Each structure stands twice: as structure tokens, then as C-alpha cells.
Structure 1
Amino acid sequence: MVGYGEKTVAEVFRELAVSGASFKFAARGGSVKVSIDGLHSSLSPR
């Protein structure tokens, strides 16, 4: 995924979990909505 440098998405979320951030996924219609500490960002597969 572009935008995370050398880290995979799994590594990014693992670090978030270790840092105490809370997050959840919602998959709908081919896209994934990620909620992190009240921030919302949509990731769409290409």
C-alpha cells in the first residue's frame, strides 16, 4: 500500500495497537472504512 513507506498495513495497525490506539474496520461495497480514535479514513482497493 502506498503511503506507509516500508511498513505493511498489518505492521502499521500492530504499532497502533501497541500504542494504545483503538481502531475498527468496516468493509462495505469493495472498500474498507477504518476508524482510528475517532478519525475516519476510507481505503479503496485499486
Structure 2
Amino acid sequence: MKRPHRSAHALIWSVLAFALPLALFLVLALRQTVPVDRPAVRISAPAGEVVQ
């Protein structure tokens, strides 16, 4: 009884160790969208421009 349970347990955790990070990566990658509706925001002034 113990041997099949241990092998199934090892297999399940091995699959989860591969599948969960892959699923997380896919969810984060698919959520990335192009900001077409937002204007560009300048973070710093270009060289030669004086900021007061």
C-alpha cells in the first residue's frame, strides 16, 4: 500500500512543480496589454532642457 501511494505522491508533486510556475507565467504574460488608450508620460526631461 505504501509504495503506490509514494510513487503517486511523487508524481503529483513533480507535475505541480512544473505546471504551477508555467501557469503563473502564462497568466502574467497574457495579462500584458499594449497601452493604446493611455498617453505617453515623460519621466525625465530631455538633455538640454532646464527643469525648474
With normalisation by structure 1, the TM-score equals 0.28
Higher strand share: 1
| Greater RCO (CA < 8 Å, at least 6 residues apart) | 1
TM-score, length of structure 2 as denominator length: 0.25
Which protein is richer in helix relative to its size?
2
Question: Rg: which structure is higher?
Answer: 2
